Each structure stands twice: as C-alpha cells, then as structure tokens.
Amino acid sequence: MRAESGAMAATSAGVEIEAKVQGGLMKGLKRSMLGGESLFMTTLTAPAAGGWVDVAARLPGDAMVLPVGQGLNLTRGSYLASTTETEVDTKWGGFKTLGGGEGGFLLHLTGGGTVVTSSYGAIDQVDLGAGESIVVDSGHLVAFDPAVQFTTRKASKGVMNTLKSGEGFVMEFTGPGRIYTQTRNQASLVSWLTEELPFSRS
C-alpha cells in the first residue's frame, strides 16, 4: 500500500517502509504544490506471511475506506493511504472549485483499488438520485464521484446577507452519484485559533 508521508502510525513486524516520489518528480511536485499533499509518498510492503498497517490523520476525525471504482475526486488534505494500483494525480477542478475554496485543484484517483480518506470530524455519505441536489459548504466537502455535476455560488444573495450569515461560497451537487462531507471545517478552526492565540507573548 501507499500512504501520505507521516501518516503511518504502526505496522506489524516485517513490514518494509520506503519513501519516494511517486510517478516521477514532476507529477510529485504537481500533487504537492497543487493538490495539497506531500511530495514524498510512503510505500509499505508486507512480508510473505502478510501484515497490517495503521495510518492516522493530522486532525481528529474519521477515516473511511472507499472504493476508487471508475474514479474518485478528493479535496485537499483528504488523502491518507491507498492500494498500490490506485493512481493519485492532480486535476484542475475548474473555477467552480476555485471559488469554493478548494484552490481550483482536486486529487483525482483512478486505476481501481481502495483509498483511505480522512476528515476533520465525522464523515457523512450522501447518495444522490438522478436530478436530486444538495448544497454543501465548501469547507465541509471531502470527496465525490466524478459523474456528479456541481456548481459554486454564494450561500446567500447580497453582501449584507453574506456578512450576517457568516457563510461564503457553497457547492451545489446534482446526482446521480455519491458525495462525502465532514462535520467540521478546518478553515474555521484555523480562524478561531488565530483569534484566540497571540502570535507573540511579552
């Protein structure tokens, strides 16, 4: 299996660990600079008798094993580990994701296998039927099927409503397909910490 650099928490005896740039330097740099993941990925190989690996995320929350299937899009920081046949690349999500706070780029997984994705808080799975829609705050998105259609817009009309509600951009998804959301928002945590913790003390 492969894991995000620093994600390994424990392994059974005999598991070999090797860190390297997966897919070449250019692909690794693109994944790191645009996709928000580490430049190096860790490959963990079990001995002939088999073995196991525990991985852990940076923030408290869920970890969920998802099938890659025909493809899967992850938001920045959601990738934790995957099987070796899974290809992890960076994909331009369009200006729709740029407005939604995802930086315009997503991690795009192909090649089958499974991926372990992490969240800040609990992960909720939402299955959308054909034509069914859901609106998600951009900071609460974890992953979604590439077949799901989406647009990005302001949460409310007018500048005053936006300021009063405290909501910025939201992403509206339309099925069929599946999306995964997280119950907490990392950006909100950073904002709160910035206000509560002074940068310097006298």
Tell me the fold of 60-196: Double-stranded beta-helix (3.60.160)
List, in sequence order, every residue forming a beta bridge with 152; answer none if it has no partner.
Answer: 171
Tokens of 102: 């995802």
Burial classification of residue 191, based on how many CB atoms lie within 10 Å of its CB (0-12 exposed, 13-18 middle, 19 or more buried)? exposed
pTM for the whole structure = 0.76
The span from the CA of 197 to the CA of 52, in Å, is 39
- DSSP labels for 106-147? EEEEESSSEEEEE-SB-EEEEEEPTT-EEEEEGGGEEEE-TT
**pLDDT of 199:** 64
The CA distance from 197 to 88, in Å, is 36
pLDDT over threshold 70, residue 100: no
pLDDT in tens, 134-184: 999 888 999 999 999 998 887 766 544 444 444 577 889 999 999 999 999
**pLDDT for residue 193 is more than 60:** yes
Contact 57, 5 (CB under 8 A): no
Quote the percentage of the chain above a pLDDT of 70: 76
The mean pLDDT value of the chain amounts to 82
Contacting residues for 163 by C-beta, under 8 A, at least 6 apart = none
Residue of 120, 28, 134, 44 lying closest to 78 (CA atoms): 120
Task: From 130, 135, 126, 128, select the one nearest 171 (Cα to Cα).
Answer: 135
Residue 51 half-sphere exposure, CB side, CA atoms within 13 Å? 16
d(CA 40, CA 37): 9
**pLDDT higher at 189 or 148:** 148
The b/e string for 93-103 (b: 16+ C-beta within 10 A; e otherwise) is: beebbebbbbe
Within 10 angstroms of residue 66's Cβ, the number of other Cβ atoms is 19
Model confidence at 92: pLDDT above 50: yes
